[in-house]
Amino acid sequence: MGIFERIRQASPWVLTTFAVVFVGFMVLGDMDFSSLQSTGNSAQNRMVAEIGERGVSYLEYENNVRNEITAQRQQYAAQGKEDQFNENAIRRAVYSNMVDSKILEIKSEKMGLNITDKVVGDYMIAYPPQTFVQSFSDSTGFRRDVYLRYITNPEGFANDMVANNPNATPGQAQEITTDIRERLRQISGYLEKQIYQNSVQVAMQEAGSIVSNEYLKQKYIADNSFADFEMIYLKTSDVKDEEIEIKEDELRKFYQKYSESYKQEAQRRIKYASFRLSPSQQDSINAKRKLQKIANLFSKATSKQDVQKLFKDASYEFGGETSELVPFSELDRFARSYLKNAVEGEIVGPASTLESTNYYRVAKIDSGDVTDIKASHILVNFNNNKDSAYKEAMKIYQRAIRGEDFSSLAIDLSQDKGSAPQGGDLGYFGKGKMVEEFETAAFAANIGDITKPVESQFGYHIINVVDKVNKKYQVETIAIKPTVGSNTRKQAQLKAKQLSDEALNGGDFEAIAEKFGAVVGESAPFFDSQPILGSGYITSFAFKNEKGQITKPIELDNFGVTVVQVSEVIPEGIPNFENVKENVEYLYKNKLKKDLLKAKAQKLYEAITSAGSDMQTVSADYEVRVISNNKNNGMIAGVQGRENVVTSAVYSQDIGSVSKPIRGNTGYFIVKTNSKNVVSDDLVNKNLAEYIKAEIQKEKRGGFYGWFQQVKNDVDVIDKRSDIYTSY
């Protein structure tokens, strides 16, 4: 395939999928968003955020939002997930990214990191993104000359494309040029932000913020050493509340001692009254009329060609959508059962799903290699003993191949909690969806085969291959479902307006809501960074207003037309004891329970040491757990959370030694070290350099994000979106 043919397929829209493109010194010289600003009070002249002396303009923000929505809507449609598309979530993400970029720019410049357009342009020339390398390559390799012409002279490149396209239309070169330039502008900040971030990471490393080599050496040793030990674990959760006594004055003293740890940011709580936007009876009748109209259309067909034409007419009228050519497993799960045996050109329906009644037209089918498999499996976890797990898996396999029902075996014996209740059914899946070992075995097996146990990181799998599909489908779908009509929406809006008006006049919010039949709820306390009820506007309203203030009706996804009242204002600082008493009491209970276990643990320790350090001497009264191949990282099988003090004790004491009682996060521990396999000096010397290199990269990333989070806390950002929008 030639270069221009390759570019025609991908360009100019190809740039939408590129995350990192910027040639400001070449392309952006003729455009400055700030030039679009002028004085006035219209939304177009406002700022959606002020960050120090800089800001995010309405026009810049809306431009980015519009393009991100277009790109993501296409992606969701291609994946058949239109119902999961959330415009407000995209708006919030774009806002956050733009604010972060401004903050990073400000702080980086203060550090002396001035990333000019020329720096970014030079980087683009020196390091073409891999996606560009693929698009600008042919049988001779990467065509750097074409690539450079593309990014430095969009107009010339567009003229070349048109000159080599016999089907080009007048003015197409200008359209392509405009499209290329626009997309370069859209995503210019991505690469600049990445270079700033990398520069900050280097600066931090030079300043010594990255951890020392000695620390990383000890971490390598810990990550590659293993120990076996015995353990008695006295859990605080096993102590009943009745065994301890909580005194009010002691509880208050406990809180006073640790009150600084309860310091909180400002929070708000809201009450809300919602009128759900559900299809009315009339809306359902309207949907049935549409289905009847489609059925009547098809009944007039006298030939296959008539049916195809009538389907296209119905698709145009009722909003049909056509998928990309996709593997069977990527079709809508309801569509699969209807389309499995369909042929190209066939129209299938009516087909009922949970939400709609559909008609499908199979626009195209491509056959070839197997793309999808339907399989069931039974999982046997390792449980710290792979040999035992394998023997158990082989027993199950023998039962399955002797004819026992695979589904029943999965329900009774599989340790995959997700699929076991469905008889081990995993549905249809394509390549790249399962771990490599599982996928290789499943695709190699024939329909009806049951594989011998296959080892993966999760355990041993016995796989039953139920079906294989070697087809890809392009499907046009007409989906008819009851939708909320304009009259239904108007009725909800009218009730919400009446509720809001009465509440604003001093009425009791909940009583009024009940009178109008609204669904009433109250949120938990929330911070100013949390979109509440899925709305950034409501969060902003709650923090800008006092207790009792009420919004006008707002239409919210998943809630309908909603009226909100600020029900509680929680100020920043150390909270009143009564407001956090429940949390304080929980922690204090744990302390008392650990205090109670201390004496019991000491008696146990004395009994064990008097018996020659034999842990089993108390096994009749206490469970002695045997832990194998444990790292010195605080993680212990059967113990929730990390207990670093425990694993450190295992490694620090001699083999055969028993520790004194150890007070951990979740109780008391007594451990006896049975063996330690500490990584050898030879292996340390051999592998340490590469390990340090990899860990420093991780630390640099972590160090940057930690630094940037602190920077964000120190920068005064004024969010002005609520001055312009009521939905974001």
- Percent of the chain exceeding pLDDT 90 equals 34
Give residue 676's pLDDT.
Answer: 92
Q: How far apart are the first and last CA of the chain?
A: 45
Give residue 312's pLDDT.
Answer: 85
User: Would you call 512 helix, strand, or coil by DSSP?
Assistant: helix
SS3 content of the chain, % helix, strand, coil (to 5): 50, 20, 30
Residue 197's pLDDT band (boundaries 50, 70, 90)?
low
Strand arrangement of the beta sheet that strand 554-556 belongs to: 519-522, 267-275, 560-570, 554-556
* CA–CA dist 372, 471 (Å, integer): 8
**Contact status, residue 642 vs residue 630, Cβ threshold 8 Å:** no
Residue 21's pLDDT band (boundaries 50, 70, 90)?
very low
pLDDT for 467 beyond 80: yes
* CA–CA dist 201, 700 (Å, integer): 6
Give residue 199's pLDDT.
Answer: 67
**Contact status, residue 96 vs residue 536, Cβ threshold 8 Å:** no
- Residue 272 has, within 13 A of its CA and on its CB side, a CA count of 26
CATH tag, 279-483: 3.10.50.40
**Contact status, residue 480 vs residue 357, Cβ threshold 8 Å:** yes
Residue 117's pLDDT band (boundaries 50, 70, 90)?
low
Report residue 476: phi and psi, to 5°. Answer: -100, 130
* CA–CA dist 416, 398 (Å, integer): 19
For the chain, the maximum distance between any two Cα atoms, rounded to a whole number of angstroms, is 97
User: Would you call 653 helix, strand, or coil by DSSP?
Assistant: coil
Please state the rounded mean pLDDT for residues 543-551. 93
pLDDT in tens, 310-325: 888 888 888 888 888 8
Please state the rounded mean pLDDT for residues 218-233. 91
Question: What's the angle, vertex CA 465, arms to CA 463 and CA 471, rounded to 5?
Answer: 140
388 CA to centre of own chain? 36
> What's the CATH fold of domain 267-278+485-570?
Chitinase A; domain 3 (3.10.50)
Task: Of 183-187, 648-652, 675-679, give the lowest mean pLDDT range.
Answer: 183-187
Residue 28's pLDDT band (boundaries 50, 70, 90)?
very low
Highest mean pLDDT among 169-183, 308-322, 594-608: 594-608
* CA–CA dist 447, 445 (Å, integer): 7
Q: Which residue has the higher pLDDT, 713 or 665?
A: 665
Give residue 43's pLDDT.
Answer: 57
Burial status of residue 273 (CB atoms within 10 A of its CB: 0-12, 13-18, 19 or more): buried
**Rg of the Cα trace of the chain?**
33
Q: How far is CA 582 from CA 205, 245, 252, 262, 585, in A?
A: 44, 16, 12, 12, 5
* CA–CA dist 646, 650 (Å, integer): 7
pLDDT for 40 beyond 50: no
Residue 17's pLDDT band (boundaries 50, 70, 90)?
very low
Please state the rounded mean pLDDT for residues 610-628. 88
- Percent of the chain exceeding pLDDT 70 equals 85
Give residue 269's pLDDT.
Answer: 93
**Contact status, residue 358 vs residue 349, Cβ threshold 8 Å:** yes
Please state the rounded mean pLDDT for residues 487-505. 91
* CA–CA dist 679, 684 (Å, integer): 7
pLDDT for 8 beyond 90: no
> What's the CATH fold of domain 226-263+578-677?
Chitinase A; domain 3 (3.10.50)
**Equal fold, 226-263+578-677 vs 267-278+485-570:** yes
Bridge partner residues of 480 (DSSP):
357
pLDDT in tens, 372-411: 899 999 999 988 788 889 999 999 999 999 999 999 999 9
Give residue 14's pLDDT.
Answer: 34
pLDDT for 12 beyond 60: no
Highest mean pLDDT among 134-138, 190-194, 496-500, 700-704: 496-500
Residue 2's pLDDT band (boundaries 50, 70, 90)?
very low
pLDDT for 564 beyond 90: yes
Highest mean pLDDT among 460-464, 557-561, 678-682, 709-713: 460-464
The answer to whether the Cα torsion of 126, 130, 136, 137 is positive or negative is positive
Task: Of 272-286, 291-305, 451-465, 649-663, give the lowest mean pLDDT range.
Answer: 291-305
Please state the rounded mean pLDDT for residues 99-117. 75
- Residue 635 has, within 13 A of its CA and on its CB side, a CA count of 7
Give residue 345's pLDDT.
Answer: 84
Alpha helices in 242-385 (DSSP H): 248-258, 281-299, 304-318, 333-339
Q: What is the mean pLDDT of the chain?
A: 82
Give residue 27's pLDDT.
Answer: 34
* CA–CA dist 262, 580 (Å, integer): 8
Domain locations in the chain?
A: 3-202, 207-221+681-718, 226-263+578-677, 267-278+485-570, 279-483
Task: Of 113-117, 223-227, 569-573, give the lowest mean pLDDT range.
Answer: 113-117
Q: At what angle do helices 154-163 and 172-186 cross, to 10 degrees?
A: 140
pLDDT in tens, 48-94: 999 877 888 898 898 888 888 887 877 776 666 766 778 888 898 89
* CA–CA dist 198, 104 (Å, integer): 11
Residue 630's pLDDT band (boundaries 50, 70, 90)?
very high
